[in-house]
A and B are shown apart, each in its own frame.
Chain A
Amino acid sequence: MAILSNRLTEEQYKENFSDIHPPFETMDAAAVEANRCLFCYDAPCMKSCPTSIDVPKFIKQISTQNIKGSAHTIFSSNIMGAGCSKVCPVEKLCEGACVYNLMDEDPIPIAKLQRYSTEMAMEKKWQLFTRKAGAGKKVAVVGAGPAGLSCAHVLSREGIDVTIYEKEKMGGGLMTYGIAAYKVTPQFCKDEVDYILSIGGISIKYGQELGKDVTLETLQKDYDAVYLSIGVGLARQLEIPGENLNGVVDAIRFIYDIRNNGFSKVPVGDKVAVIGMGMTAIDAATQAKRLGAKEVTMLYRRTQEEMPCTEVELDIAKLDGCKIIWLAAPKEVLGENGMVAGLVAEKMKLGDPDASGRRSPVSTGETFTLDVDMVIKAAGQTPFTQLVDGMSVKNKNGKIQVDGQATNLKGIFAGGDCVNGGKEVVDAVQAGKDGAKAIIDFIV
């Protein structure tokens, strides 16, 4: 057993990481589904979208072959509508609410239709928005993830000049660095950021980390307002013995490396355990398998009933051949010569409901050992507590506290994962829109 990179051929990588939800090939294909849409009034799909995209309208516009109008409808509500069409858990959002579900019929493939219009807009470089005349105001945004980009775009539309400070080399945040490559490619993420920036009035300064390369005080002084959209940090520590052994990796880091270094450069074990059952856990497990791991086992301390990922995501993992062990919590990582040599897990049972309303896992005392050489931690992410504390921004365990969108510091606003602790991309886009509105009210 060993942790190795370069396990597969180029062709195998290409096949394993190809688009999991292929787009409509033709206008005719899109029209078949667009014409199925009932064009509901006060539509449940629209009400189930965190950014309130007018879904019936944009689908109607596909059926009338007004694709430009369709893309405008989507981007007006969600400037990352193209990316969201690929990464949103639509089965619990728009598509999950489609009235066809109530007829036991397949819902309208809203995401696929959304992808059709938005990708055409990106491909044809349609500039669907014009900036208002210069407002003579400037705003700093920290973090070029979904919340930051969304905020910046709304501000730019209002004629406000925006500078984004981004610690990485590319924009897009978790869209670029934290999502399975078979959902969005690095090239797509880059194109999406470029498309958002094409409105003008937004500049991104890359390699600029808050608290290191730039300070909040400077930003506060130099700009009319600051929007903090710094996201969340690394995976939550398991706090178990053996956690520092070689071969225990953070899911976010693992996914980041896949996105950043290329498939063949990312080492993966023969037998991999993934801790957690959220979207990130699924993305880590499936990609470990697709990188060539022989066996991938996912451990979750509760049951399927309580899992944070959707059924659709779980099915991807199952179809990829990942094994699932419910009611199992990691207890100790076993080592040999400093390397992972196994994982001891404890069998759990469900107890009383906890603060989240879900039944909490209770230890049974019974343990078992998994023969693994790699452990990927994906049991939630932790906020940048140290950074936030250092800036005297009011926070709760590192999660920035806001009143509306405003922090306790004058002119400093915040939103997205750094406030809510980590939600979907589409939630971050909405947070960015809300932040921009609050900033406009503040400075104009």
Chain B
Amino acid sequence: MADISSDFLGIKSPNPFWLASAPPTDKKINVLRAFEAGWGGVVWKTLGSQVKNVSSRYSAVNYGGHKVMGFNNIELISDRPLHINLKEIEECIKLFPDRAMVVSLMADNNKKSWHELIKQVEDTGAHGFELNFGCPHGMTERGMGAAVGQDPEIAKMVVEWVMEKATIPVITKLTPNVHSVVPTGKAVVEAGTNALSLINTIQSVTGVDLNTLVPNPYVAGKSVFGGYCGPAVKPIALKFLTTIAQDETTKKVPISGIGGVSTWKDAVEFMLLGASNVQVCTAAMKHGFRIVEDMCEGLSNWMDEKGYKTLNDFIGKSVSNIVHWEELDINYHHIAKINQDKCIHCGLCYIACEDTSHQSINLEYGKPYNTYTIKEEECVGCNLCQLVCPVTDCITMEEHRVAPEYLNWIEFQKRGLPLNDH
């Protein structure tokens, strides 16, 4: 059986699943329940200056009958007294010594405050720090959170302060509310951070109540931009992760992947694109801590099937498979094929192709079932029909290379080959 234990900067955990810094990790009772359920580690909810929270705090995006496809929050960092947090962190470490205990920090914007906070937390026996440079609401107005992460110079300065004092590993958490996470990532790596984690939440408005006309979440007739997370942000997180995993400077440090991880499959995808472990929040907030059971079992079974013995056997394996567009093989071509035995005649492929793609599906009327076939000479191989088909493997994409050899766009132009062949 595969070994799913994780070693992140020397911080060991029985599995690579940590709970992200968020409401589920803001006090002992939750964290102990999480450890009992099997979570490998937690990043304790951000400690820093005293704040006051509002009600309500969350809102969600539902889609096609599924609740909480996207989730946002306007909660601030921990609003509990620091000394209670520190005491509880220490107790949790003692009760579960085999689990990772990382503490998220967001001190006031001066070196002294950071140094004091670091000292106090290190005294708990915590295994590492995560610097919250990502929180997009509430704290930014005070020049903290994303306000730090959005400015590479400030981020670098703060990390330098931290590295002067910290004796345990430091992870810097990046905000996605930027055009590219790489400049800040590079700046903090150069400043000495031991690792990076990403993404934090994305500024968002999840919707507007059509009766009150007030956007969500509702606070006494008003709302505010909240931090977006959950399954909906996974593709954006994977993209940002990849840029960090590919950059020459940032790829030198381990990455903790965050952003919509809900299942073992999501976790594997993050790890294939360079994350050494993953952090989870929304999925646990929706279903409770018990989801970790299937995450562990699913990961282990997948590794066994693929023959991977440890996590390091596959971490980062897909990073090099994302290239520049110019490097793609223009001679690759595939054409959709509809398996008539599997087809249920819903017509979704047809109407998608006919209205919005390349009119490559033929319709033969029947009562009540029509027959749909691919016009091979028209099909550009876009995948749309396969994506909308409700039956697994009913529509397959069959390889029909234009020519046997690899040909990219740069070479294509050099050779002066003809355009508009479709």
Interface residues of A (CB under 8 A from B): 31-32, 34-36, 38-45, 47-48, 63, 97, 99-100, 102-103
Binds A, one of B189-197, B279-287, B306-314, B346-354: B346-354
Bound-state Cα–Cα, A260 to B391, Å: 50
Complex partner residue of B348 from A39, A47, A63, A97, CB under 8 angstroms: A39
Binds A, one of B122-130, B330-338, B364-372, B407-415: B364-372
Q: Is the CB of B347 within 8 A of A35?
A: no
User: Which 10 residue pairs of A and B lie closest in terms of their CB atoms, listed nearest first?
Assistant: A35-B65, A41-B347, A44-B368, A41-B351, A99-B344, A102-B344, A40-B346, A47-B368, A97-B368, A99-B346
> CA A44 – CA B345 in complex, angstroms?
8
Interface residue ranges of B358-415 to A (CB < 8 Å): 363, 365, 367-370, 390-391
A162 to chain B, nearest CB (A): 33
B64 at the binding interface (Cβ < 8 Å):
yes
Task: Determine the chain A residues whose CB is within 8 A of the CB of B346 once the complex forms.
Answer: 38, 40-41, 43, 99
Measured CB to CB, the nearest residue on chain A to B347 is A41
Q: How far is the CA of A34 from the CA of B64 in the complex (A)?
A: 9
CB <8 Å contact, B348 and A38 = yes
Q: What's the minimum C-beta distance from A167 to chain B, rounded to whole angstroms?
A: 38
Check B350 against A41 for contact (C-beta < 8 Å).
yes
- Judged by DSSP, the binding face of A is helix
A63:B347 contact, CB within 8 angstroms: no
Known: A35-B64, A38-B348. 15 other contacts (CB 8 A): A31-B65, A35-B65, A38-B346, A40-B345, A40-B347, A40-B348, A41-B348, A41-B350, A42-B347, A47-B368, A97-B368, A99-B344, A99-B345, A100-B344, A102-B344
Specify which chain B residues have a CB less than 8 angstroms from the CB of A31 in the assembled complex: 65
Least CB distance, B63 to chain A, in whole angstroms:
10
Q: Select one of B344, B347, B348 contacting A103, CB under 8 A.
A: B344
Q: Tell me whether A48 and B351 are in contact (CB under 8 A).
A: no
> Which residue of A is nearest B367, CB measured?
A47
CB pair B65 A63 closer than 8 Å? yes
B interface list, Cβ under 8 A from A: 64-65, 344-348, 350-351, 363, 365, 367-370, 390-391
Q: What are 17 A-B contacts defined by CB distance under 8 Å?
A: A31-B65, A32-B65, A38-B346, A38-B348, A39-B348, A40-B347, A41-B346, A41-B350, A42-B347, A42-B363, A42-B365, A43-B347, A97-B368, A97-B369, A99-B345, A99-B346, A102-B345
* Alpha-carbon distance A35/B368, docked complex (angstroms): 22
Distance between B341 CB and nearest chain A CB, rounded to angstroms:
10
**B390's closest neighbor in chain A, by CB?**
A38
Q: Nearest-CB distance from B69 to chain A (Å)? A: 13
Chain B: CB-nearest residue to A99? B344
The chain A residue with its CB closest to the CB of B350 is A41
B352 nearest CB neighbor, chain A only: A41
Contacts of B345 in A (CB 8 A): 40, 44, 99, 102
| B residues less than 8 Å from A40 (CB atoms) | 345-348
A122 to B76, CA, bound (A): 49
Q: Which residues of A contact B367 (CB under 8 A)?
A: 47
Evaluate contact between B351 and A103: CB separation under 8 angstroms: no
Could you say which residues of chain B place their CB within 8 Å of the CB of A43?
346-347
A78 to B92, CA, bound (A): 66
In angstroms, how far is the closest chain B Cβ from the Cβ of A437? 22
Minimal beta-carbon separation of B324 from chain A (angstroms)? 38
Residues in B whose Cβ lies below 8 Å from that of A38: 346, 348, 390
What are the residues of chain A within 8 A of B390 when measuring CB–CB? Answer: 38
**Closest Cβ–Cβ distance, residue B338 to chain A (whole Å):** 14
Which A residue's beta carbon lies closest to that of B65? A35
Q: Which residues of A contact B347 (CB under 8 A)?
A: 40-43
* Shortest beta-carbon distance from A26 to chain B in Å: 14
**Chain A residues positioned under 8 Å from B344 (CB to CB):** 99-100, 102-103
Name the B residues within 8 Å of A99 (CB-CB).
Answer: 344-346
- A41–B64 Cα distance when bound, in Å, is 18
CB closest residue in chain A, given B389: A38
Chain A residues contacting B365 (CB-CB under 8 Å) are 42
Q: Which residues of B contact A36 (CB under 8 A)?
A: 65
User: When chains A and B are docked, how far (Å) is the Cα of A48 from the Cα of B345?
Assistant: 14
